[in-house]
Structure 1
Amino acid sequence: MKSEIIRRGLAAVMAVAVGATAAPGIAAGYPDKPITLVFPWSTGSGIDAVTRVFAQKLGDELGQPVVVLSKPGSASTIGATYVQRAAPDGYTLLIGDGGTFAVTNSLRQTPVFDAVNDFTPVSLLVKTPYFVLTNAESPVNSLSDFVSRAKAEPESIAYGNVGVGSLAHLATEDFAVKAGIKLTAVPYKGSGEVLSALLGNHIQFSYTGGALTHIRSGKVKGLAVTSAQRIAAAPELPTVREATGVDSVAEAWWAIVAPRGTPEPIVQRLNAAIGKVAAQPDLQAQFADWGFVFGASTPEQVTTRIQAETARWKQVIQVAGVPPID
């Protein structure tokens, strides 16, 4: 009996030792083939452009291509569940936003996944306020004008979002409730589709992240930004609070995660590579010109952000009376 205990103890010690020596080897050999970065929305948006530029730079840093795979639908849950079910080997990653990680499942009676426990956090990536938009031909020239029109014509104005349960959906509802207006929501599979609908006058209003290039081109009219302060890239746009007196602040943010169980050395390798890419001044300047703030983080900061945002938007759901989506 005593010899059996000793044997098991030695086996356990050897297993720990093997694991400790194998872990650095995992990172040393990674990656040795292309990595797939799942983009859970339709293409053609500002964040789509950011993701593709970032993926190319990350691939350069890692020595293997990072291929962006668009899997839109169901407010990003189709792409997210695809990654959730992927092998935890570091070759399938997800870029998700606040809606993916903090809002969508808060609106479900039966959550599709647990954003904290079903994924391995890697790094925060970019953030931007939402740009409050209307059609270029609209007679509305300010957000206060828009609120007045919406109050005079309840539920006659349609707004687009990137899916029921998206952060843009909840942020718009938060504003509408506080402004005392009623709008009609129209869900799409990505902000590219929302912008197309706005250009075609199928909708008259939207909260869209990364829309600065479209505002500058004159294709849409920017009324405000949802940040607490004006942004350097578009100082002419007032905040929602400045424009209307409504205290409604929201920030679009995106993070990179991997499937649950991804080895720590791989997570560290990815995190370090993202940090190097995020530190490139030319890339920071390019993204800033598009209205995005680019910056990496620790994996722990991703978890903290998800938990804080989940608590905040659950409260908004209750106050706004947003119904469940299942």
Structure 2
Amino acid sequence: MSRFDRAFAPLAAAVEAGRIPGGVLGMVDAQGHRAIRSVGAAQIVPQRRPMTEDTWFDLASLTKVLFTTEAILAHAEAGRIDLDAPLISVLPDFRQYNADNWERKITFRQCLGHQTPFPAVFPIYTYGRDPDLLRAFVLQHEWKAGPAVYSDINFILLGLALERLEKCGIRAMEPGLGFAWSADPSQAAATEDDTWRHRVLAGEVHDDNCSALQGAGHAGLFGTAAAILDFAAHKLTSTPPDALIRTPLSARRTHGWELPYEGWSGGERCSAHTIGHTGFTGTGLWIDFARGHAWTLLTNRIHPTRHFDSGIVTLRRAVGDLVNAD
């Protein structure tokens, strides 16, 4: 049995057990060899559609690394922003009514590394559906400071900075080759039977804050396994060891990405030179530079509801361990 066959087995078993409707596993190495395989259903409610290797997925927080981190670092490399400058260098109106507050001191680099006091989650969408009003809300809200945690607010703010730099909304920006801001519902993995929008979502962003903002830096990207593997293959062959996406900002994080730690999503067998990220909808990408390979696991684990223990944490780790088994 090949390494890919072994790694695919836990995904197939999760589908067979009814833990998730379906999924796609993809692997690629630095020589360009790749494998992609699908199993199960892209949608089961209200009708059933098969999962295929070409199914489009709502990539959720993979948007942070596949799009927003890449765009922010490109602006920094071009000299248009300083990563150690505060966000107000681009967003001067951020918390403008209190010049001495902590929010106005937050830097681009701190947001990339989730080294800020912003709350982990916040239901921005409950404050209305006008995207301009909600952007003003994000910029003027008095955020409650807490311990540094992984926070969508960091990347929502980075997305607002990108909109100022590019002078257009995020959905008007080029999402990257093979990616898009929406997908044909007949070709997309369904996500949730959403209680806010009152329909099963397929091909439109699942994240409620991103939907209400009509584009944001923390979520909203769609893509296939092939597109993600193209991205990973490019990183394997062109990213030098000192690149910022590999440069630690803390024990667990680089600029945008996660590093391996005990219990992390990539399993226990990846090398120390691995970066990875996951998405709430059931997606993930891991790139092991020492071993010269990458893998993506894409599932619709929240279809038709997020309120179910899909076992995604255990599944991701099991797949990662088998990808990296000797």
Which TM-score tier does this pair reach, normalised by the shorter chain? under 0.3
**TM-score of the aligned structures, taking structure 2 as reference length:** 0.27
**TM-score of the aligned structures, taking structure 1 as reference length:** 0.27
Structure number with bigger Rg: 1
Q: Which has the higher strand share?
A: 1
Q: Which has the higher helix share?
A: 1
